[in-house]
Amino acid sequence: MTGVRDRSGAPAVSVVIPLYNKRPHIARAVTSVFAQTVRDVEVIVVDDGSTDGGAEVVRGFDRVRLIRQENRGVSAARNRGIAAARGELVAFLDADDEWMPGHLEALVRLRERYPCAGAYGTAYLVKKEGTSRIPPFGSVIPREPWEGLLPNYFRAATAGALPLSSSGAAVPRHVLCEMGGFATGAWYGEDTDLWGRIALKYPIAFTWSGMAVYHKEASNRACNTKKPVGEPPFVASAQKALQAGEVPPGLQEDVREHVASRQIIAACRNLEAGRPDLARAILRGCRTRDLWKSRYWFLFWSYVPAGAYRVLRPRRVFTALNAWKGRASS
């Protein structure tokens, strides 16, 4: 499949890759784009002030637009790439991840079949320490090989792995412009916030085929950084939408539960970072009908001194939350 160029001469897909100190991995990411069955693509790499020579690696590739800027964060880098994109469909890929060869073909197919959708996503493999697995997506998403419009994005995102990821999603450019792109005020949860804001207004399409590969073992990943985080950005976005009456009554409870799940995960990150006070503050503001056991479990851990927590913590800090997700998807 070569992709179909529109009448304006724009590419079928614009691929935006934010780059910050990912020299060991960026070649793999770009190579996976050029290995796609969809050939009609433009590749935009936005170097966000890297100091490790990653931009020089990018210069070694033909047909890659390299944009350099001072370090302003991953959201600003993605937004810069969006502004430069010429394609109507914009796909995102982190510099330390890669795509299977049919990834863009799957996204383009979704776009053609479901033009009403606000975002398109594929399943993804998580690689870590020599192992790879597909995370549990929960029964809200029909089993493989299903693809289509999700019955309920927020319920799916709460009961299992997120249907949209920063390396597995594509969004029409006009939707990105409508949403104002990625929020630049947070370094963690900025992608989840955008997916949530889109899902408040548009259906979300998903497919099991053409998976992305999420390299959790890669160096310098934000998800592996143990530093404090604030309230997840989607909390404010959801509250604003609820207060403005922009969420249909039948969806409001699902949105609230998704917000609660994001808050609990943020609290877990603060426990890992040795900031139980921040975890406690987030959990005190967490309101949930279904996740109350997880909320109280981690609230308990927030009163344990940070030093003792590191010794006594469960083998997996997300044990309680994962257990709830397993029950919710059964």
**What is the mean predicted confidence (pLDDT) over 280-291?**
96
Question: What pTM, to 2 d.p., does this model score?
Answer: 0.91
The DSSP H or E segment spanning 2 is: none
- Identify the CA nearest to 325 among candidates 257, 269, 272, 268: 257
* CATH 3.90.550.10 domain position(s) in the chain: 13-224
Checking DSSP bridges between strand 119-128 and strand 131-133, what pairing results, if any? Answer: antiparallel
pLDDT in tens, 98-137: 999 999 999 999 999 999 999 999 999 999 888 899 999 9
Helix (H) or strand (E) holding 193: helix 190-199
Which residues have C-beta within 8 Å of that of residue 232, sequence separation ≥ 6?
186, 188, 189, 192, 193, 259, 262, 263, 265, 266
Residue 26 neighbours by CB distance under 10 Å: 26
Both tokens assigned to 107: 């996204």
- Cα 169 from Cα 172, distance rounded (Å): 10
C-alpha distances in Å from residue 93, one per residue of 5, 9, 163, 211, 220: 21, 23, 15, 12, 16
pLDDT tens digits for 59-93? 999 999 999 999 999 999 999 999 999 999 999 99
Q: What is the pLDDT of residue 218?
A: 76
251: nearest Cα among 319, 322, 151: 151
User: Residue 225's pLDDT is what?
Assistant: 67
| Both tokens assigned to 146 | 């299903």
Rounded CA separation 175/198 (Å): 8
Q: Average pLDDT for residues 272-281, to the nearest whole number?
A: 92
Higher-pLDDT residue of 313 and 283 is 283
Question: pLDDT tens digits for 213-264?
Answer: 999 887 666 666 678 999 999 999 999 999 999 999 999 999 999 999 999 9
Whether the predicted pLDDT of 199 surpasses 60: yes
How far is residue 171's CA from residue 107's CA, in Å, rounded to a whole number?
10
Task: Work out the mean pLDDT of the chain and round it to a whole number.
Answer: 90
Residues 6+ apart with CB under 8 A from 91: 13, 14, 15, 16, 104, 107, 169, 170
**Fold for domain 13-224?**
Spore Coat Polysaccharide Biosynthesis Protein SpsA; Chain A (3.90.550)
pLDDT band for 1, please (50, 70, 90 cuts): very low
The model's pLDDT over 126-182, given as tens digits with 9 standing for 90+, comes to 998 888 999 999 889 999 999 999 999 999 999 999 999 999 999 999 999 999 999
The single-letter DSSP state of residue 182 is S
User: Which residue matches tokens 């190579």?
Assistant: 31
